[in-house]
Structure 1
Amino acid sequence: MIGVFDARSLVPRDKHDVAALSSIESAGYPAIAPILDDLLAWTADGNWPIAPPLARFLVTLGMPIVDPVSRVLQGDDSPQKYFCFQLIVEKLSMEVVEALEGDLRKLADQPSKADQSEGVDELAREALQRLHS
């Protein structure tokens, strides 16, 4: 009997688990589809060693990253939103950014106080400006 692949086994164990990245990249999409939210969570702080290289990989996924990024942008964690912009949104193709336009517009036009204090509203406006330039 062939073993069943468990995508959860690919989720980094801690913020220093950079070695997990090669397994994540090897598995690729769609094998990692069930853990995209978990992977995105490891980019919540750009100072973590795992965050920048993992974010670079997630950007390469294109449209499959839209829903997980959208959930971050709609969430309550303003520092995570900030790093999501810095590490991911700013590097996405215009097609993918366009799919996030509704979330970007809401953050730009109706930011929470926490989003304003993290500069998330400004980052959203910059992304929208890039989209429409």
Structure 2
Amino acid sequence: MDIKILIPKHKFDFESVEKLKKLNLEEIKPILPELLEWLQDMNWPIAQEIETLLLSFQEQLIPYIKNVLNTNDGTWKYFLLHGLINKLPKHVLKDLKTDLERMKNSPTDDEKYEELEDILEELLEKI
């Protein structure tokens, strides 16, 4: 089976999400970046379920999260910081410390616009 066919097609594609839940982590790993895209707006109906699924990956998510934190998509960063990243265990969060510190100390325009200071401070205090 080509795992890419299970990437959700729209924000109500619960059928694909349910199929993904039945797979093991190794089967899902190739589509982690695409699944992370579904956390760009946590108001999308399937976003919460995908976030829960992604939390199983912990350390494996770090490179993909770092990629997002280096984009100009402040809204996506906002949702990741308040959701997925905030739910990661402390030992995994440590891998993001440099990125979080950069965002706190030298925020980009999109990060300033999203007013991320409080969540960044909270996350850094956890580490």
TM category, shorter: over 0.9
- How many residues align structurally? 127
Instruction: Tell me the amino acid that sits aligned with residue 55 of structure 2.
Output: V
Q: Which runs of 5+ in 2 are unaligned?
A: none
- Counterpart in 2 of 1:124? 120
TM-score (norm 1): 0.89
CA shift digits 1:1-49 (9 cap, x unpaired): xxxx212111001111122212112123111111101000011001000
- 4+ residue runs of structure 1 moved beyond 3 angstroms? none
- Counterpart in 2 of 1:114? 110
TM-score (norm 2): 0.93
Give RMSD over aligned pairs: 1.2
Q: State the 1:125 CA deviation.
A: 2.1
Is the Cα–Cα contact under 8 Å of residues 56 and 87 in structure 1 kept in the other structure? no
Could you say which structure has the higher helix fraction?
Answer: 2
**Equivalences for residues 26-65 of structure 1 within 5 A:** 26-65=22-61
Q: Which runs of 5+ in 1 are unaligned?
A: none
Q: State the 1:120 CA deviation.
A: 2.5
SS at 2:39's partner residue? coil
SS at 1:19's partner residue? helix
SS at 1:27's partner residue? coil
Whole-Å Cα distance in 1 between the matches of residues 109 and 117 of structure 2? Answer: 10
